[in-house]
Amino acid sequence: MATIAPADILAARFARLAQDYPEEIAQAKIVADKMRSDVTRPSQGSAEPALIYRFFK
């Protein structure tokens, strides 16, 4: 099965943005990939997600 790239999904859902600002979307993809690579993905089952609303109440 073919993989659909996030930018393609964005183009489908945000047609005007994709049409008018293709360079900004290309740049955004680089930024998003870098963010992803900078954050460790916790190992399976090792961490519940933060529920910050409950942190300090």
Partner 1 sequence: MAASSLHELSIEQASAQIAERRLSPAEYLQAFRARAARLEPKLHAFTRPLWDEAEQSARRAEAEIVRSGPRSVLHGIPIGLKDIFDLANHPTTCHSKILLENVAKDDAASTAKLRAAGAVFPGKLATHEFAFGGPAFDLPFPPARNPWDLTRHPGGSSSGSGAAVAANMLPAALGSDTGGSVRHPAFACGGIVGMKPTYGLVSRRGVFPLAFSLDHVGSLTRTVTDNALLLNVLAGHDPLDPASADRPAEDFTRDLEGGLKGLRIGFVRHFHEVDMVASPDVAASLNAAAEVFAREGAIVRDVKLPSAIELAAANRIVLLSEAASVHEHWLRDRPGDYSHMTRQRMIPGLLLSATDYIQAQRRRKQLVDEISAVLREVDVLLVASSLDQPCRIDDEPELTRTHGRQMRAPFNLSGHPALGIMCGLSSDKMPLGLQLVGAPFSESLLYRAARAYERATHWHTLRPPLDELAPA
CB atoms within 10 A of CB 17: 14
Binding flag, residue 2, partner 1 (CB under 8 A): no
Hey, which residues between 29 and 48 contact partner 1 (CB under 8 A)? 29, 31-32, 34-36, 38-42, 47-48
**Interface size with partner 1, residues (CB under 8 A):** 33
Q: Which DSSP string corresponds to 1-57? A: -PPPPHHHHHHHH-HHHHHH-HHHHHHHHHHHHHHHHHSPPPPTTS-PPP-GGGTT-
Residues at the contact surface with partner 1, assessed by CB under 8 A: 6-7, 10, 13-14, 16-17, 20-21, 24-25, 27-29, 31-32, 34-36, 38-42, 47-50, 52-53, 55-57
